[in-house]
Amino acid sequence: MHLDLWHVDAFANHPFAGNPAAVCLLDSWLDDGLLRSVAEENNLSATAYLVRQHDEYHLRWFTPQCEIKLCGHATLATGFLVLNILHPSRDTVRFETRFSGPLTVRREGSLFAMDFPAFSPRPCLNPPQNLLHALGMDAPPMAVFEANSTYFVVCDSEDAVQKLHPNLALIEKLHPFVVAVTAPGENCDFVSRYFAPSYGVPEDPVTGSAHCALAPYWAQRLGKTQFHAHQVGSRGGELWCEISGERVAIKGNAVLTLQGSLLL
């Protein structure tokens, strides 16, 4: 048995940048244990599984450790695959998902735009005592808010975000929560980093789903609805976000880096 497999660098316009995702095209759903094993073998922050059923596609995402409810970069990678390789004459694809409802990806100029739910940020009045220690912060943050099982820690500068040296073992103990940090950007509206070690992702290079809450937070703070964002780190990536009611468009580039078969 073999699986058709692609690797796509999402939120990047050249190889070896952004966030690499694996995309597997299936004829039908396989056993969940096998899906987890394939994701572990890929050893990327997410593997997307795509099944065509009649005129629509069904989509699921797995980290090397477990299935997750929403994944931005692997959705972008899958949309890129469908619109550029499987159906290059189409401009839009709709995915049915198990936990996050229907999601769409469409061409928008040179970018691919995802239509995702917006998560309203809530002030975290009593953050875990070891949260700041886990991030290795020398000074208290400007704010902490939470949304979608994520603690968002707001710093005062991009430099502060880049210099963080988190203790991943401590962050892992916050499960089921994960941690993101954000700050105003020097050459963009805001920057961020994202840590999810309890899900098998020590630091995610670019996290589209986190921007479902980051965009609403910065909309409240900056008083506008369109943003240019960078997720900073060893690879880094660019995102463009636009708030529209209870939805957020998250846009980026993508690049194909591998095409082949996985033998089972």
184, 102: one domain: no
88, 73: one domain: yes
**Number of C-beta neighbours around residue 65 at 10 A:** 15
Whether the model pTM is above 0.85: yes
- What 3-state class would DSSP assign to 32? helix
236, 223: one domain: yes
> With bands split at pLDDT 50, 70 and 90, how would you rate the model's confidence at 233?
confident
User: The CATH number of the domain where 21 resides is what?
Assistant: 3.10.310.10
Q: How many domains does the chain have?
A: 2
Residues in the chain: 264
135, 86: one domain: no
Least confidently predicted of 4-13, 109-118, 137-146: 137-146
pLDDT digits (tens, 9 = 90+) for 151-207: 999 999 999 999 999 999 999 999 999 999 999 999 999 999 999 999 999 999 999
Single out the residue of 264, 242, 244, 240 nearest to residue 253, CA to CA. 240
158, 197: one domain: yes
Single out the residue of 214, 194, 10 nearest to residue 114, CA to CA. 10
Single out the residue of 57, 46, 34 nearest to residue 104, CA to CA. 57
Residue 46 lies in domain: 2-117+250-263
- At residue 31, the pLDDT reads 97
68, 128: one domain: no
35, 77: one domain: yes
> With bands split at pLDDT 50, 70 and 90, how would you rate the model's confidence at 220?
very high
List, in order, residues 6 or more apart from 117 with CB less than 8 Å away: 100, 101, 212, 246, 247, 248
Single out the residue of 119, 78, 79 nearest to residue 100, CA to CA. 119
In degrees, to the nearest 5, what angle opens at C-alpha 162 toward C-alphas 160 and 167? 90
Could you give the CA distance from residue 178 to residue 176 in angstroms, rounded to a whole number? 7
- At residue 56, the pLDDT reads 86
Mean pLDDT of all residues belonging to the chain: 96
213, 130: one domain: yes
- What 3-state class would DSSP assign to 147? strand
List, in order, residues 6 or more apart from 90 with CB less than 8 Å away: 82, 83
pLDDT at 138 over 90: no
- At residue 17, the pLDDT reads 96
Going by the DSSP 8-state scheme, the letter that residue 197 receives in this structure is G
- At residue 50, the pLDDT reads 98
The answer to whether the CB of 262 falls within 8 A of the CB of 248 is no
- At residue 54, the pLDDT reads 82
Q: Which amino acid is at 236?
A: G
In degrees, to the nearest 5, what angle opens at C-alpha 94 toward C-alphas 93 and 95? 120
203, 92: one domain: no
pLDDT digits (tens, 9 = 90+) for 107-137: 999 999 999 999 999 999 899 989 999 999 8
- At residue 55, the pLDDT reads 77
8, 44: one domain: yes
pLDDT digits (tens, 9 = 90+) for 52-66: 988 789 999 999 999
Q: How much of the chain exceeds pLDDT 90, in percent?
A: 94
Find tokens 């390789």 and name the residue.
Answer: 85
Find tokens 């497999």 and name the residue.
Answer: 5
258, 209: one domain: no
138, 229: one domain: yes
